[in-house]
Structure 1
């Protein structure tokens, strides 16, 4: 296998690095670019820890080859923060509602939550639980995650 340079705009910044044809996007982000947000949990698309937005579509980056994203845009949880580096509303609600413990699933959950909230779908407990069904959390039992997402949807709601 030969390496070839690919360029992907990651969190608003063009990034160029070598990738083999078989390199998964999650591995390229983590190994070539040192982007540690997307986690490697299963490499089978089941856990959601590697979830990113690729050209606006939510994907599990362990199911995409890096070379497929050449010339495209990828958003990770690190790109969600405000320009000054402070937490955005979804991140802050996760913090305020204790929606994380070990943190392994958090970046994938944040990306899924952001995509769900951006969809304009009604944010009820049922729709929120359905939205995050492709993300596995082994720590929190989901209650706090659901509450954090619902709080992020309601600007007047704070802890």
Structure 2
């Protein structure tokens, strides 16, 4: 089977690529474009380690074929850093001890970002729902929930 041409925007940069039709978005982001914050955990969309924001929605990139992202806007942790949007979330995660081994952290941050983009003052229940597709084997989730709540408060104070 031949290559497919796709066009997409990742972290505010436009790409036009010829890809294998069987390539997943995860592999395109990590292996082709070098965005290593996107982690491969379960390969089934169950762990959330590969979560990115696609067209404003948190998605697991291991369950999306790269050709399905044609015309899409994708955001990864590297894009948050480049835009200067990572600092508040990053600080809240560190100060609330929401980072231990760090493997789940990029996916958690992207799920948190997607939530906070739509809801500036989420309840604990809304935070729990937003991260329910992200597994963490280290923290027990309470520090992560506290970090997202803390980040929401900081963003509200700063008008972000």
Report the TM-score when normalising by structure 1: 0.88
Per the TM alignment, residue 62 of structure 1 is displaced from its structure 2 partner at its CA by 0.7
Query: Which protein has the bigger helix share?
Result: 2
Task: Deviation per CA, 1:28-84: give whole Å up to 9, x if none.
Answer: 11111111011111111100111111111221111111011122210011111254x
Where do 1:37-56 residues align within 5 Å? 37-56=37-56
C-alpha distance 87-114 of structure 1, shift in aligned 2 (>3 A): closer
Provide the C-alpha distance between the structure 2 equivalents of 1:86 and 1:154, rounded to a whole number of angstroms. 15
Query: For residue 145 of structure 1, what is the aligned residue in structure 2?
Result: 144
Unaligned runs of 5+ in 1: none
Structure-2 separation of matches of 1:15 and 1:70:
10
1:74 — aligned with what? 74
Please report how far the alpha carbon of residue 151 of structure 1 lies from its aligned counterpart in structure 2 after TM superposition: 0.2
Specify the alignment match of 1:59 in structure 2: 59
Q: Is structure 2 residue 33 aligned with structure 1 residue 33?
A: yes
| Distance of 1:9 and 1:75 partners within structure 2 | 8
Gap regions ≥5 residues in structure 2: none
- Report the counterpart of residue 105 of structure 1 in structure 2: 104
Contact 2:9–2:71, Cα closer than 8 Å, also in 1:
yes
Give RMSD over aligned pairs. 1.8
Deviations 1:70-111 (A, max 9, x none): 22210011111254x684211221122121111111111001
User: Which TM-score applies when normalising by structure 2?
Assistant: 0.88
Task: State the match for 2:131 in structure 1.
Answer: 132
The aligned residue for residue 2 of structure 2 is 2
Alpha-carbon distance in 2 for matches of 1:82, 1:34: 15
**DSSP-derived class of the 2:9 partner:** strand
Q: Is the 8 A contact 2:51 2:111 kept in 1?
A: yes
SS at match of 1:81: helix
Q: How many residues align?
A: 155
